[in-house]
Every structure is written in structure tokens, then in C-alpha cells.
Structure 1
Amino acid sequence: MTTATDTTTTTTTAATASTTAAAGAGVDPRQLAALGDTLRADPSFRVARNAATAANVETVTLDRDVLATTDSSTSVKLDSWSVADQKKSGRCWIFAGLNALRGGDGGVIDATGVKDLELSQTYLHYWDKLEKANHFLCAMAGLTDRDIDDRTVQHLLADPVEDGGQWNMFVALVDKYGAVPKYAMPETRSSSDTRAMNRDLATALRAGATRMRQDGADVREVHRGTLADVHRILTVHLGTPPERFVWQYRDRNDEFHRVGEMTPRDFAARYLPADLGEYVCVVDDPRRTSPRGGLFTVEHLGNVVGGAPVTYVNAPVEVIKAAVLESLQDGRPVWFGCDTAAQSYRERGVWDAHLHDYEGFYDVELDLTKEERLLTGESQMTHAMVFTGVDVDDDGRPVRWRVENSWGPKAAEKGFWTMNDNWFDQYVFEIAVHRDRLPQEYRAALDTTPTVLPAWDPMGALAR
């Protein structure tokens, strides 16, 4: 007699067999031998093998024609300052946000006349960590009725307080905490190399989430106690943010200015754009499940509880390019998110969609569309930077883009990279621009109720 358990086992075994049959048989040694004979008879394989075993594949696949025809000059160039360096941290979005505000017409450098003024990334990094910890604990408190192995719970537990973030999260921090010059809260060993700090913060938060789930737990008390633990660890690593600081400086003409004592919010109100809240995110998400002109958000994505939600409107890449181009021509740098590692050459600081000829090197078809790369996890937003220039041809079309990176001055053109326009199409996913830069149909979408995507959606990857 077959029991219910037996039936399940039989059904599972049959399904597995069916899947195996559909996928094909196991690896056949005779087939491998034939493949090996084919490779040994192919001189192009021998060349590729010899090259890959003796040199870096990224170097030997470089298309020299692309490199030779990529010029770093641009017809529009806003930057006259030095790049910053995020070092061993994932604070790119904070660096990019502050870089976008310090330069260009109306930026902090323009307002003060200080040639290389840098704002403190550590200051906003501190508050982001604390706010993210609180955001995480609020989410955990609301999910105590779900099993610990629930996908959303596990997704949040995987990275409770990582370095990443989004434009809306940057604005939320500036709105609440203001900003300070770098000297008022300088870098520490842990702000420049966040691995150990993040490890210990994550452990504290996971411990708090575990205590929330214990029988009879006072969830609010656990929340408060865990946040106190996070505050202690964070302040050990990054120091105490200044409540007030003395602001005085010499401008590029060596003239001295003594403004006096200021709070971080005073500084932001005086030097940062008053319309920062009017800057919105626009993404190029080609997935058919995310229609153009729609407004979206990602579940549990954010830092400041009660702050403006992280939202974005989905628009074609042509709309995004037009908004960036108009902003740059008006003297304003543009924050953006992309998949920086794809088709990249760090030494020269170049991006081109065909920079590395991997298909020719391996003689294997590797092409995927932008949509397919998003759907399969091949590509997602991994880095935020700032557009500071563009080269426009005689017909008004962008040829290449100038990018302020936050990887220090040793690579590229003293840290400024060159992006050929074909790379923009494939690997740029998001920008932050003033809402007035968008066509009316996309501005109207900003005032609709956003569609909520799951916490693990790739459009939230930059915050992880």
C-alpha cells in the first residue's frame, strides 16, 4: 500500500526525472573527448588559451580600435575641481550626491569661490547608518508574524546596514541633518574601509531582530536597546557628528572669509540648492513588467523613517539622455547610477559597449539585451557617479560623456572618466534631475501612486 509520504516521494522523483530528461542527459565522457579533439584542432583556441594563461583576460580582450578612437575632450565641461576617493567603502551614492552639489553653476564651490572644497561624506555616512538601522528594525518589528525563512525577512537580514543608497535617501539625509565641510568631520579608518564596522553593525542588528521574535518580547524595548547598541558601535568607528562648527575659508583669490559658527542645517540652507526636493529619479527599466511612464518604488527601500519614499519614473533612455544633456548645458552636474564594471577599462578610464571583445576571444555567443541582463542578474546598478560634461556633435547629438568618479585621481584623467554614448544606452540605469527637465507625461507620473516592487527587485540594487 502506498502512503501519502510515498506518493510525495514518487511524485518528486518523477518530476526530477522529467526535468532531467527535458534538460538532456548527464555529461557524456565521449562527448567531452570529441569536444577536446575539436579544440586541439582549432588554432584560435590555442591562441586564446595561451593568452588567458599568461595575461589578464580584461587586457587581452581590449579592442584597440575603440581605445584609439576614444577622445576624452568634451564640448561641455563643468569640472575644475579634484575628484574625491571613497576608498574601500560603498559610499559612492553619498560621494556622488555631494559632488553634484559642490560643483557647477550655483554649487558650493561657485558660491564660496573655494577651488577644491569637499563636503564631509563621513558626516552623512554616520547618519545614514543610524537611520538605516532604525529603518531595518522598524521593518523587522512589522515582520515578526512571518517565518524567519520568509524571503523578504531573509533578504533584509542578508544586508541589514550596508553602505549603498539611492538619491532619495541622500536627499532625506540632507533635509534632516544638513551638511558640513570635510574638515568638520574628516575620514576615519572605518569610514574609508567599512568592512569590519559593517560586519559588527550587522551582527548587532541580527541579534536585535532575533530578540524581537522571542516569546514575550517587548518589541519596542528591543528596538530601542538595539538602536543604542548600533549608536555605540557607529560612534566608536566614525566619531561624533558635529552639532556646530566654525566656518571660515580662503577663496581662489586668496581672500579670507570668516562666516562664523554654523550648524550643519545652517550650512545646507545657505549653500545647497533650495529646490533639492524637486530633483527626481528617472530610470531606464526595459522590462515588460515595468511599463514606461509608470512610477515605482521598492518595498523596504529607504533610510529615514517618515522621509520621502524612494520612487522613480520609468522612461526611455532617449528621455533620460535629453534631461542630462539639458542639465549639463545649463551648468548643472547630474547624479546617476550604472553598472560600472561592464565593458570598462580602469587604467584609461573608458567605458564603451564594445570595449572588450569577449565573444571574439572565446568564439562563444554571449550577447544579452539590457532587459535580459536585468532579468537574469547579469547586470544591475552597482555604482553612482556624476556627469560633469558631454561632447555634442554638429547635429546636437551626444557622442561621449565626461564622468566624475569617486575612486581617486590615479586612474583615468585624474579621476575623470570617459563614457562613449553607446555604453550609456546599455549600462546607465538611473539619473536624478530637476522634475522640470522631463516631458509633461513623465512629470505627471511623479504625482501618481507608485507600484511597489519586491524588496529584492534589481532597481533597488544600488542601495545594497
Structure 2
Amino acid sequence: MTKEINKASLADFHEKLNHDESNNVLKNAVAQVGIYKAAQNIAAKSKLNPAFNIEVPTGKVTDQKRSGRCWLFSTLTNLRTEFATKYNVKDFELSENYLSFYDRLEKANYFFQNIIQTADMPLSDRKVNFLFAHPSGDGGQWQYGANLIKKYGVVPSYAMPETVVSESTSEFNATLNNLLRKDGMEIRQMIKDSQPTEDRVQEMLSDIYRICVYSFGQPPVDFELSIKDDNGKMIEQASITPKDFLQNYFTINLDDYISVMNSPQTTKKFNQPYTIDTQGNIVGGEAEKFLNLPIERLKELSIKQLKGNETVWFGNDVGNQSERQKGLLFGDLYQYDQLFGIDTKMSKGDALDTGNASVSHAMVFTGVNLINDKPNRWKVENSWGERVGEKGYFTMDDQWFDENVYEVVINKKYLTEEERNAFAQDPIVLPAWDAME
């Protein structure tokens, strides 16, 4: 590596810049308003008219605040939409905090079991290093939510409301991860010294339970069901457990839904199921499993489910070509290639391989607009509160779907028999650091 930037290089750069007089105007514009504002495509707003000819009735959006629980908010949106429709309670909300409590406790145990299983591997091993780098967090996948709901049931938001910590999780994450790393090292040393770990792990989990209670509150064993529907009729029961509430008031069968992904990397095949090593939240729970299909198939399946009056959970890269305040998801929103005279376009597979793209967020499709049976825009329910977008709802164009949607959760009844048979196969296990993690 001997080629350096020298005076001749800089002089050449300077000459090329000044050769086009328009660069003087552009450099002033970018410096004063920023890259995104200077490059924003003003046609986006007119093309993202929030009107849809297929739409699932929904109510107010939720707000995850300063937490990474989008996956859980989106999972519960599917359940609360069903309840709101069935019982005529438009703005009903389930408690995300209730399941967040158990998610963090279960993730701690999941981490400990992974540490036990890898105790004979060196700390420098990539898998062990990954475990200690990411012992716990409030992010997750749809299957995480399904596992929690099946094990612990659900409660209305009033039965376990949000706390300051649940709404802003950075301090909790830092505290818990410090403890988990220290405990993980202790477990590794105990195994090296041939000491039994079971009792000590239980003591560690007891400490984490206490931290969770202080931070999120005490989860109810049972609660009073008292909800007034939109006609003033009461839905009430003196005492009910979270699991009985789920069983008696919801008809959704979470086992009927599978994750369909679009990962067009050369290392992955279509019509092949995949799972990711160490990715999970509950020991004994279902592992996240994806069926890899072309992007057009993800659209077709999403449209079928929306036509069936069901919302669609989806994973995406929300930071790309998006305008948060206006709620715009537009494939050509920021035209910085034209602004700078460069070419940053790469394939979706290459973007995943190079870390230029990631599955960073989860939201819910609640509508789609079709022209000649083809989608041109999608209605999206986000979990960032009502102060962004159209009272919390975003509008997405079809190009954005192509380039930034990576996963949809679909009822198996909408898949072909061939697709269901493919999903039933044993999955290929991807490493913990895979791009779809």
C-alpha cells in the first residue's frame, strides 16, 4: 500500500471541481441545508397519497418511545386489531411492558444456557465473542413475541402500564449487560473448575428478576378485566389470568404464522428454510425460522392476507430513503446520486453482504392500493406515536418495498402446498452474525 494522496492529486481534484460552475451553487446549497434536504425528491409527497382500496380497520397507533421493542409492538398490533374488531373497541391496546418484563428475564436465561454450551470454546472464538458482545437487548423478532404470548398470555395496557425504564431502555440495557457479562465469565470459570452451575444460575436469574421488577413493575398473576366498548357496553370479569384472557378473548393461533424472508444473497437459496444460531429468547421456545422467497412473492402473500382482513407484520430497513416526520417511505426519496454525480446503487444481496443494509425495524401493513391488481403504495402502521406521519401511519411506495422489506409474517393458509412443504424441511443454520440477524 504505497499510493498516497499528494499535492498533484489534490490539484487534480480541485481542477475537476471548478471545471463545472454549477458546483459552486451546489456546494453552497448542501452546506447550508444538508445532504438530505438538498437531495430530497419533492415528487414523493404527491406520489404517496394516503388512500388505499384495500384497508384493515385500525385505531390509534402505539408508541415504543426510546426503546427497541418495535417487534413486540408490531406483534401485539395483530392481536389488538383482532380484539378491537371483535369487541368493538377501536383504540384498545395490550401491555407491551408485561411481555417486555418476561422477555428480558427469558433472554438472560437464554444467554446463560448459550454460555454453558460454549464454555469449552475460547473467548476469541467468533461465536463466543458475539455472545458477550450482545448478551441482551430489547430488540427481537416476530417469533420472540409469539413465544412470549404462548407462555405468558397477554394483559390490557392498564393492567401493567409503561414505566420510565420501559419507555427508555438504555440505562437498563447497560446495567443488565454489565451483569450478564460478569455472570457469564463466572459460569465459564465454574465449568472450567468442574463445579455444578445450576444453583448459581438460579441465583443469577433471581437477581435479574429483581432488577426487572424494579424497572418494569411486578407482572400481574391475574387482573380485573374492565373495558368499555365504543357503544358504552362493558366487557368485564372480576378476575382473570393473562393466559385465560388470551384463550377466552382471542382466536388467533400464533402457530399458523410463519416468517417469509427475502434475502437475495448468493449464499442463500429461494424455497429454502433458514434459522440463525443463538437467535432466540426462550429456552424451549420455538426458534425463529424463515422461508426464503423472491420479493414478488412477499408482496403477493401480504396482499392476500390484507384482503383477508388481517394485518401483516414485516421487518425492514427503516432508515433508508425515509422521512420520519412526514411518514414517507419512498424508494427515490433522496436523490444524492444525482446531487453529487455518483453511483451508490447496489443489489439488495450486495447491500446485505456489505452491511449497507440491515433488518433494523418492524412495522405492520394495514392497507395497500392496487392498480390492475398490482400494488403502487402500502399503508404502514408504525409504533412511533401519533406525532409522525399521518397520526402515526406511514405511506410506502412499491419501490421501497422491493429494496427495504426483508421479512413478512404470513398465515400458512396463504402459502402454496409446495411452499408449506419447503418450510417444513429442516432449516439451514446461519451463524449468529448473519445479515438477517
Q: Secondary structure at the match of 1:459?
A: coil
Instruction: Tell me the residue number matched to 2:126.
Output: 151
Shift of 1:202: 0.4
441, 445, 451: which one aligns with 2:418: 441
Q: Secondary structure at the match of 1:64?
A: coil
- Preserved contact between residue 274 and residue 427 of structure 2 (Cα < 8 Å): yes
- Preserved contact between residue 71 and residue 362 of structure 2 (Cα < 8 Å): yes
Alignment of 1:170-181 (within 5 A): 170-181=145-156
Whole-Å separation in 2 of the counterparts to 1:30 and 1:258: 80
Whole-Å separation in 2 of the counterparts to 1:304 and 1:402: 32
Which blocks of at least 5 consecutive residues in structure 1 are unaligned?
1-19
109, 115, 127: which one aligns with 1:134: 109
| Alignment of 1:270 onto 2:219 | no
Alignment of 1:169-208 (within 5 A): 169-208=144-183
Return the letter of the residue paired with 1:149.
S
Q: Secondary structure at the match of 2:367?
A: strand
| Alignment of 1:397 onto 2:374 | yes
Q: Secondary structure at the match of 2:364?
A: strand
Alignment of 1:16-415 (within 5 A): 20=1, 25-103=3-81, 107-214=82-189, 215-216=192-193, 217-393=195-371, 395-415=372-392
Whole-Å separation in 2 of the counterparts to 1:27 and 1:147: 41
Q: Secondary structure at the match of 1:458?
A: coil
- Preserved contact between residue 115 and residue 188 of structure 2 (Cα < 8 Å): no
Shift of 1:445: 1.2
Whole-Å separation in 2 of the counterparts to 1:231 and 1:52: 51
| Shift in alpha-carbon separation, 1:159–1:44, aligned structure 2, 3 A | farther
Whole-Å separation in 1 of the counterparts to 2:22 and 2:219: 59
- Preserved contact between residue 67 and residue 355 of structure 1 (Cα < 8 Å): no
Whole-Å separation in 2 of the counterparts to 1:298 and 1:61: 38
| Shift in alpha-carbon separation, 1:306–1:127, aligned structure 2, 3 A | same
Q: Secondary structure at the match of 1:306?
A: coil
Which blocks of at least 5 consecutive residues in structure 2 are unaligned?
none
- Preserved contact between residue 319 and residue 438 of structure 1 (Cα < 8 Å): no
Whole-Å separation in 2 of the counterparts to 1:100 and 1:359: 38
Shift of 1:45: 2.6
- Preserved contact between residue 130 and residue 231 of structure 1 (Cα < 8 Å): yes
Q: Secondary structure at the match of 1:213?
A: helix
Instruction: Tell me the residue number matched to 1:420.
Output: 397
Larger Rg belongs to: 1
**Which whole-Å deviations, capped at 9, do the CAs of 1:177-197 have from their partners, x for residues lacking one?**
000000000000000000000
Instruction: Tell me the residue number matched to 1:11.
Output: none
Q: Secondary structure at the match of 2:52?
A: coil
Q: Secondary structure at the match of 2:171?
A: helix
Whole-Å separation in 1 of the counterparts to 2:52 and 2:422: 33
Instruction: Tell me the residue number matched to 2:429.
Output: 452
Instruction: Tell me the residue number matched to 1:9.
Output: none
- Preserved contact between residue 135 and residue 180 of structure 2 (Cα < 8 Å): yes
**Which whole-Å deviations, capped at 9, do the CAs of 1:414-458 have from their partners, x for residues lacking one?**
000000011101100001111111122211112111100000001
Whole-Å separation in 2 of the counterparts to 1:353 and 1:375: 20
Whole-Å separation in 1 of the counterparts to 2:38 and 2:317: 22
**Which whole-Å deviations, capped at 9, do the CAs of 1:152-207 have from their partners, x for residues lacking one?**
11111112111111111111000000000000000000000000001111011001
- Preserved contact between residue 381 and residue 392 of structure 2 (Cα < 8 Å): yes
Q: Secondary structure at the match of 1:163?
A: coil
Shift of 1:65: 1.9
- Preserved contact between residue 52 and residue 369 of structure 2 (Cα < 8 Å): yes
Q: Secondary structure at the match of 2:315?
A: strand
Instruction: Choose 107-116 or 171-180, whichever is displaced more.
Output: 107-116
Return the letter of the residue paired with 2:101.
Y
Whole-Å separation in 2 of the counterparts to 1:337 and 1:120: 21
Shift of 1:380: 1.0
Whole-Å separation in 1 of the counterparts to 2:55 and 2:435: 32
Whole-Å separation in 1 of the counterparts to 2:76 and 2:152: 14
Whole-Å separation in 1 of the counterparts to 2:367 and 2:128: 42
Q: TM-score, normalised by structure 2?
A: 0.97
Whole-Å separation in 2 of the counterparts to 1:95 and 1:305: 22
Q: TM-score, normalised by structure 1?
A: 0.91
Whole-Å separation in 2 of the counterparts to 1:212 and 1:48: 58
Instruction: Choose 157-166 or 401-410, whichever is displaced more.
Output: 157-166
Shift of 1:274: 4.1
**Which whole-Å deviations, capped at 9, do the CAs of 1:347-368 have from their partners, x for residues lacking one?**
2211111111010111111111
Whole-Å separation in 2 of the counterparts to 1:155 and 1:304: 18
Return the letter of the residue paired with 2:434.
D
Identical-pair percentage: 35
Q: Provide the aligned length of Structure 1 versus Structure 2.
A: 434
